[in-house]
Structure 1
């Protein structure tokens, strides 16, 4: 039997097993949320914005808890959701292959189950790290086997209030405007979920043909034979530098402002179920201390990513090197750095993301009402690494127990509790459960349990009427006969 047939048989065997086990678990759970209409229009219970890993996990968990009247919108075309086959450029994931990821706590939905049924147990034993594009294949299978309600090429333009505590979304579906109503919105919008790519002004002010952010769709083939400067020391810096070299760049200089490339991944050091379940309950001071220490140390790039760059003789690392000025001489960029002058043809800024609601037009109605940590918490001097207040933490949203936004002091905006921030900026409030593979199922479970609780309490009068009106007998009266005592 050939390998293609083996693969098809293996996946079909897994699919049958998944369907059987989901049936045993009564998945999806029976729908129980009272249906709503507004002026004869359909009202969704939940709209999830983002069909990447976080959005798919949230959707699967909603089905598990019986919130079936929901939809997932993603602006990408089908099977292109998230970063994995767009701007992510690493060869493999850095997460260990054994992590359960978005499986909802169901073993047959793990990457391992999918991989072993596709390639065999022996292949699993010899697998090192998970290839990036293979992870996307797994997520596509996950979406399909759970029959998740993802609608592609839908762009959310605006989230606004509507009557009766509803939210109104203005969307473009395949370029055509629509208006939809929902009770809840979940922002599963990834690393840049409350802002966008950050680029220092000295680079951002250059003409676009001379610079890019590492999250942009870069034409690396056009960089063949050119000199490229990459700014940063993280994983994306190394992945973009390596891609440029592999596509034939004449020279790549990696500029790192620190005196050394970070060596230790502090997030790995605190990775445990204790952190996953307990971080959210820490006092504010301890939440800040943990994340300030972690972020100040900076996450190192994976060793294979650095070696992928350094194996090229035309790759150069420059430590303690920060750009101070950039001048243009025709099509050449003249860089003045803290270590001297450097000429190049193109700059890639692997400088991360920042929270900036001005970059999120869909949230403009609420942008001046959302509470951030800086609005109510100032860390004691003893809790500040290097004596400064970490701006990334200060600009984190101050979220409630179900990832819901909260209003600033003296601001009345009850609708904020219906918008849930299930993306990376939630980390300071909830821990690392909404943006990365290891604990994404735990985060989705916390999110959806909060939504379910809110729905039930908000509709408690309806559920009580249903209780009063429930008259399906279990006994009909002929099961016994009253007997005299004597």
Structure 2
């Protein structure tokens, strides 16, 4: 049995969702969530100072803000996208469903009433949940919009961070912002980068596209109207999940043909990352020896992640889709409005090329990080792998502290850098995959929030101790008992 989710989405049951929201509100009340405020109010030069500024209001940013609220720490979240379009789900993602199993609880932070399943069943019922294979992508976005509302996350949309500057003498960080009202700046004691898969860089773009005008190619992460590919001969470089989704979207938009140019002689069959996803790794990866961390992440990188079964079938059902193995791109030559692509298996003529070549850490592509980029300690500064185990992605990954904080490459050259916390995909080598992907995002958010609570308390210890000394709310008033006379005086 299958369920027509498109028709379900047109006729939800608001009463069911309202009841769930009441249950969630009661759960939060019983847990004392958000916790009472305990952070000292700060100002600097007449400007208010935020406890925490989070950059990015996708699932990582939302989970981080909600976890901080449980610790009584207020966060303000800034996102460059319009409200409701945060993250990739409604913009650049093109899969029909999520790739993760539907049972994973994602950013729910241990609250049953906050899970996608609870949200879904409240509207469409348990039978619809049982018949669903994987979560439809746009429904996940709807769920995150609901999550933001019911958890009262303070998000400032249409706000891009254009600069970030530690102020060590003031023990805070200054953010420069571009907002609808013009350029602004804010101060925060700590900053969290919840900036996603490309959080410290951008698309990995192969050099051969430099031969083409920008109108003839796109990276799979670009926002693009695939309808313009109708009737065209399209090449897709790569065979990962995004490549399959891009190829399928082009075919569904009416592309005349789609040729997948696949460097490998075959597609990987097993997602090794799933085999690593056990609580021991989630909780223990940070404490592993360096060689073990590298070994795990490098093995997964080399094994490569296969595209999902459904995504691959979505492409192969079209007779105009062609899987070309052992077919790396050797050269690209423009030919008028078309192009010729040379490969070991021969030349292809395309009207448009999609490169699905992943992402890379590239500080140069993120000018907002100019003041800190050269000072961030990376794994190539920390660890030398065995010959044959070199891995550029891992070498470029930041060497993070226990609360996801950046460390200085040279001590004293960028004081205050450790007030910036990297809660996005490049944290994977240091902490494991707890800062971006659905399976362990709650674990990562709680690690971040509890670690920040500890840092703040230690930093403000003298004030908290003074508060302890000044605390004067009586527990007893002196009239709860009568002092006994000495035994000899008792009659």
Aligned equivalents of 2:366 and 2:29: distance in 1? 40
Matching residue within 104, 110, 114 for 1:99? 104
Distance 1:329 1:377 in 2: 46
* Deviations, residues 273-295 of structure 1 (Å, cap 9, x unaligned): 11111111100000000111011
User: TM-score, normalization: structure 2?
Assistant: 0.96
Equivalent residues of 2:262, 2:323 under 8 A apart? yes
The two structures, once aligned, show a CA RMSD in angstroms of: 1.3
Q: Distance in 2 between matches of 1:282 and 1:61?
A: 25
Which whole-Å CA distance do the structure 2 matches of 1:4 and 1:243 have between them?
A: 24
Q: 1:6 to 1:217 in 2, by over 3 A?
A: closer
**Alpha-carbon distance in structure 2 between the residues aligned to 1:388 and 1:349:** 26
2:144 equivalent among 134, 139, 142: 139
Post-superposition offset of 1:453: 0.6
Cα drift, residue 127 of structure 1: 1.1
Cα distance in 1 between the residues matched to 2:273 and 2:369:
30
Is the 1:227–1:251 Cα contact (8 Å) retained in structure 2?
yes
2:340–2:350 contact (8 Å) kept in structure 1: yes
SS state of the match for residue 178, structure 1? strand
| 1:210 maps to 2:216 | yes
Q: Is the 8 A contact 1:335 1:342 kept in 2?
A: yes
Distance in 1 between residues matched to 2:12 and 2:218, nearest whole Å: 43
- Of residues 257-266 and 161-170 in structure 1, the stretch that sits farther from structure 2 once superposed is 161-170
Structure 1 match to 2:463: 462
1:75-474 map, 5 Å:
75-162=80-167, 163-174=169-180, 176-381=182-387, 387-474=388-475
Cα displacement (A) at 1:411: 4.4
2:218 touches 2:354 (CA, 8 Å); kept in 1?
A: yes
Question: Residues 417-445 of structure 1: CA distance to partner in whole angstroms, max 9, x if unpaired?
Answer: 10000000000000010110000000000
SS in 2 for 1:365: helix
Q: CA deviation at 1:218?
A: 1.7
Gaps in structure 2 of 5+ consecutive residues: 1-7
Aligned mates of 1:161, 1:268 — CA distance in 2: 38
Tell me the CA shift for residue 7 of structure 1.
0.9
Which residue number corresponds to residue 384 of structure 1? Answer: none
CA contact (8 A) 2:282 2:440 kept: yes
**CA shift in 2, pair 1:472/1:172, >3 Å:** same
- Residue ranges of structure 1 left out of the alignment (5+ in a row): 382-386
Match of 1:482 in 2: 483
Offset of residue 134 of structure 1: 0.3
Cα 1:247–1:175 change in 2 (3 A) is farther
> In the aligned structure 2, how far is the partner of 1:54 from the partner of 1:215?
19
**Would the alpha carbon gap of residues 463 and 410 (structure 1) be closer, same or farther in structure 2, given more than 3 Å must change?**
closer
Aligned residue pairs, count: 479
Deviations 1:14-67 (A, max 9, x none): 111111111011111001010001122110010000000000000101111100
Q: Give secondary structure in 1 for the equivalent of 2:333.
A: strand
* Structure 1 position 205, deviation (Å): 4.2
Q: Report the Cα distance in structure 2 between the residues aligned to 1:74 and 1:154, rounded to whole angstroms.
A: 5
Give the distance between the partners of 1:168 and 1:77, measured in 2 at CA: 23
Q: Residue 141 of structure 2: SS of its match in structure 1?
A: helix
Q: After TM superposition, list the pairs within 5 Å mapping 1:28-47 onto structure 2.
A: 28-47=34-53
Distance 1:6 1:357 in 2: 44
Q: TM-score, normalization: structure 1? A: 0.97
- Counterpart secondary structure, 1:441: helix
1:220: Cα distance to partner?
Answer: 1.0
CA contact (8 A) 1:228 1:344 kept: yes
Between the aligned partners of 2:159 and 2:448, the Cα distance in structure 1 is: 23
In structure 2, C-alpha distance between the alignment counterparts of 1:152 and 1:428, rounded to whole Å: 30
Question: Is contact 1:369–1:411 with CA below 8 Å preserved after alignment?
Answer: no
